[in-house]
Amino acid sequence: RKEVEQDPGPFNVPEGATVAFNCTYSNSASQSFFWYRQDCRKEPKLLMSVYSSGNEDGRFTAQLNRASQYISLLIRDSKLSDSATYLCVVLKRGGGADGLTFGKGTHLIIQP
């Protein structure tokens, strides 16, 4: 089983719709969780951290379910500029980013 699993998509969604991605991780000792965004032929950039209590940043909501070992990202009122690959990222141990494990990414296409 892969350490971090995501549905690769692509998800084709009309502009203005709500879209949700899920991600599962295998290491129950994982400590921190993130969503990164990667545009085509660009480097990954941090979108948001994911906290146990759930957290929101504008149109984006991230949630963590430790018991089921899954992480979700919800995008409301999607924009054309949201088209990108969304990478689920898990930190295996505390400290710095040396333990970051990336999923394969979920490809999102927002259609006008």
DSSP assigned state of 69? T
Q: In the window 84-103, what residues touch another protein (CB under 8 A)?
A: 87, 91, 95-98, 100-103
CB 87 within 8 A of CB 35: yes
Instruction: Provide the mask over 14-53, with x wherever binding to another protein is found by CB under 8 A and - wherever it is not.
Output: ------------------x-x-------xxxxx--x----
For residue 78, what are the β-bridge partners? Answer: none
* CB 96 to another protein: min, Å: 5
DSSP assigned state of 82? G
Comparing CB distances to another protein, the nearer of 61 and 103 is 103
Comparing CB distances to another protein, the nearer of 43 and 112 is 43
C-alpha distances (whole Å) from 43 to each of 4, 38, 67 are 19, 6, 32
If 0-12 CB within 10 Å is exposed, 13-18 middle and 19+ buried, where does residue 76 land? middle
* CB 104 to another protein: min, Å: 5
Instruction: List residues near another protein by CB under 8 A.
Output: 4, 8, 32, 34, 42-46, 49, 87, 91, 95-98, 100-105
